[in-house]
Amino acid sequence: MQQQFLLYLLESVTTMHKPDGPFELAGPQGRLVLKAPSPGIKNVIAALPGGETEVGLEDLFVRTEGSDSLPVFYYMLAKLRRKGLVGYGVKRGDAWTVMCEPMAAGFALAQEAAVPDRTLVLSRFAITRREGARLILESPLCTCRLVLHDALALVVLHRLAAPVTPAGLQEEFLTTAAEVGDLVQLFYQTGFAVPVEAEATAAHRQWEVQDLWLHYRSRMGGHDDAFGASFRFIGEIEPLPALKPPMSSEYIELFRPDIEKLIADDYPFTLILEERQSLHDYGKPITLQQVGEFLYRAARMRALMEPDPSQGLYFQSSRRSYPSGGIGYELELYLTIGECDGLAAGLYHYQPLEHRLYRLSGETDHTRAMLQTAGNSTEKPCTPQVLISLAARFPRVSWKYSSIAYSVILKNVGVLYQTIYLVATAMDLAPCAIGSGSNLALAQAAGLDPLAENAVGEFLLGTKRISS
């Protein structure tokens, strides 16, 4: 059923050719070199930018080459499709209504056409967004994007939000029934419109939209977005420094433990692993010395490294006790103190190179609310002694990585969680990671721009309650 759609050469495809030499087409998904294209093949390629049906292209080829050479035509067309050089579209008059752009080599329309009386619905994972001056329809389950050029496409999409049959839709739009039918077929054969029963499976129902999008777009395959260490902002935006500048002029020098003594006296590592557990039943208040030792062991900056492009290091970085994807070390530690012997209640920012706590505020409505929310997030509500908020300076990662930046940040949070757990266990403290927290609480309390830096993890810390 592909003949009903117009085939066109993608705008991203470049062509290079000499009058009597090879003809080369190159796109994001693949490259095709035609060593000695015949006049018929040249005519077909020349017709593609404006869009033509497969039947129309076949007729154009036959008029030049004759029907005996049709296998050459189909072979060339198959290669154009397989290498992701052509798209599929629908026009209304001379103007495009929808254009389908493959995002992966080997993309193909579904062979099965939509049955007129089969009930369809827009996939719940589909989203529309702006890309430059274009309106894009995408889904993590589709290896193509649709470019929406005409209001008719939006009207049809709106109707597909509720279950409807293709025949029923065409009856609603009598004056444009043919165009509506083509649109429904394109939405169906690209995977954006699906049978209602397809969304009823257990595996489908248990995915939330944001989770599936993050999963698919932070993995390779299925999309043509830039991926991995692209360093896309080199020369355009300066990278953030590895060390965040002090946020206040008031700071507390923290206790620095004797590492050699700790190496000699610490619990064996296997015992620490075996003893690790989440605890949020507290004893006497944690002390400032314990906080200082904990931060020194878990999160201090051991060394600051300047950029060295010859070694692939394009921004300032550091060495710490835990690893970080791409050595970005984007995570900042903010301590909300509820009860600590030697340290007033309030909000503090940890400076890992100087090993200091910078005081941002005393006890406020914001800090009290943060502690209460964190305490209520545990299996058994508690009154936290210390809430550690892990905040990501997002540009530290997105400056380097495309597509995977947020995924990398979440992995780094997990790594730091485990480090905190192990250090707290070695110190015989009570650690407990929290599964979620407020999207705005820390930003409001610390005066952060949420798009530049915001909380991505929360951790409770205190002393163990000694059983009597």
pLDDT tens-digit readout, 385-436: 999 999 999 999 999 999 999 999 999 999 999 999 999 999 999 999 998 8
How would residue 2 be classed by pLDDT, with cut points 50, 70 and 90?
A: very low
Spell out the residues 6+ positions from residue 174 whose beta carbon is closer than 8 angstroms to its own.
none
- Tens of pLDDT along 309-365? 998 899 999 999 999 999 999 999 999 999 999 999 999 999 999 999 999 999 999
Is pLDDT larger for residue 369 or for residue 36?
Answer: 369
99-103 mean pLDDT = 95
Residues contacting residue 426 through CB under 8 Å, at least 6 positions apart: 266, 267, 272, 297
For the chain, give the mean pLDDT. Answer: 93
pLDDT band at 446 (very low <50, low <70, confident <90, very high): very high
Write the pLDDT tens digit of every residue in 44-75: 999 999 999 999 999 999 999 999 989 999 99
Other C-beta atoms within 10 Å of 141: how many?
16
pTM of the model: 0.86
Model pLDDT, residue 3: 47
In this prediction, residue 421 carries a pLDDT of 98
pLDDT at 410: 96
What pLDDT does 467 receive? Answer: 67
Asked whether the predicted pLDDT for residue 89 surpasses 60, the reply is yes
Q: How far apart are CA 23 and CA 36, in angstroms?
A: 7
pLDDT-derived band at 1, boundaries 50, 70, 90: very low
Kind of pairing between the strands at 286-287 and 340-341: parallel
Residues 6 or more apart from 41 whose CB is under 8 A from it?
Answer: 23, 34, 61, 72, 73, 76
**Averaged over 91-108, what is the pLDDT?**
91
pLDDT over threshold 80, residue 299? yes
Q: What is the mean pLDDT of residues 97-120?
A: 91
The average pLDDT across 250-271 equals 95
Q: pLDDT for 147-163, tens place per residue?
A: 999 999 999 999 999 99
Domains along the sequence of the chain with CATH: 2-84 (3.90.930), 89-217 (3.90.930.70), 228-463 (3.40.109.10)
What does the pLDDT read at residue 350? Answer: 98
Mean pLDDT of 229-251: 94
Q: Dump pLDDT digits (tens) for 16-51.
A: 887 777 889 998 888 899 888 889 998 999 999 999
pLDDT at 9: 94
